[in-house]
A and B are shown apart, each in its own frame.
Chain A
Amino acid sequence: MAEITDLARPAGSPGPAAPPGPPPAIVPLAGLPIVGVALVLLVVAIAGNWLWALDFFHIVGGGLWTGVDLFVGLIIGPILGRLSVPARVEFAARFMPKMLLIMPTLVVMTLASGFQLARHLGVLDVAYPRHWWLTASFIVVGVMTVVALGFLEPANLAVLFELRKPAPDGALIGKLMRRFAYTAGITGLMQIATLVIMTRITTW
């Protein structure tokens, strides 16, 4: 880890008090019961056609998903890009394990409850050209899925594993973190399209 710390330190200057350590776990195990409870409640809501619960899961999950994507992509991402490599590494070691648990849970909560909600409320039954709004929402979600699963999540995981090496490659971590920030920015912008589509659907 020392060589990573050295990347951003001017020659001759004193080193930091404590270099950033590796993440204690790739997946924070303490969060798994919370995820389990959320998924069980989601299954119950879907199986029982519990409209209020479906609405709750869709609004809460979608709001948090959109908010986190926008905040990480448009606020945290650019800040992260200007930090030194050691600071990025230290941030990633604490931030990325949590994202690994939070984001898939929010996504599955939002999509599964949203589809059921649309079916119950008759939103899926509207004819074209209005149906294009729904089709557009499917396309936006599809693009976000490709970006998140194809580029963002692999970069996230690769950084976490690199950090656990005895001698992590600072340049590789920097490259993967840039990819993470760019792709988070893309999904953030896609979320703005989601906001436009969802508000249009709920007010037609």
Chain B
Amino acid sequence: MVDGAQRQLPPVTALAVAALIVVLAGGIDLAAHLPRPAPLGPPVAALAVAAVTVIAAAVTLARVRDFAWHTFFLVGGWALAAYLVIAGMLELVFVLDHTPGGLLAVLSLMLAVFAVDVPLLLAFSVARYQPGPAAGAAGAAGAGTAPPP
């Protein structure tokens, strides 16, 4: 198949899943200390690692030329809208619970990383199997899209 299944792509899935694991681990660490105040060092470190990992995934993906960017942004846009709603609801819970400022800031940033990471993962997972511009041009020139499996 020439339309993405065998194309060499950066390890976006691995990086995005790693970021998800790290940010969730930071959140679990915070929740495990409830109702006592949790030390913010480990969650902040987890947040920083997760943020850098998501940025690395986005940057390496942005350097790929032959990629189904239209599909990527279509899926990513809708997924981002959905996950902003989910993150917004969790943020509402934290605010209504009068979460202290420092902790609220860390949780909010964790939610922001989560709300960006998951749409990135979903959009990449779909777009990687879709034909990129090169495959589309080849198809238009008469080469066809994908041979039957």
Contacts and interface: CB of A to CB of B under 8 A. Distances in A.
B86 interface: yes
Using C-beta atoms within 8 Å of the partner chain, give the interface range for chain A.
35 or more
Contact of B122 (A42, A153, A170): A153
A120 to B, nearest CB: 10
A138 interface: yes
Contacts of B125: 154-155, 157-158
Given A157-B125, A157-B126, A167-B145, A108 B89 contact: yes
Nearest to B87: A108
A39 B85 contact: yes
Interface in A16-44: 27, 39, 42-43
A167 to B, nearest CB: 6
B41 to A, nearest CB: 18
A115 B149 CA distance: 48
Describe A's contact surface by its main secondary structure.
Answer: helix
Contact of B89 (A3, A112, A124): A112
A76 interface: no
Interface of A: 3, 7, 27, 39, 42-43, 46-47, 104, 108, 111-112, 115-116, 119, 124-125, 131, 134-135, 138-139, 142, 145-146, 149-151, 153-155, 157-158, 161-162, 165-167, 169-172
Contacts of B5: 169, 172
Interface residues of B, number: 39
B24 interface: yes
Contacts of A161: 71, 75, 126, 129-130
Contacts of B96: 46-47
A116 B148 CA distance: 52
A9 to B, nearest CB: 14
A142 B22 CA distance: 10
A145 B24 contact: yes
A124 B86 contact: no
Contacts of B55: none
B89 A167 contact: no
Interface in B75-117: 75, 78, 82, 85-86, 89-90, 92-93, 96-97
A46 B88 CA distance: 13
Nearest to B30: A138
A104 to B, nearest CB: 7
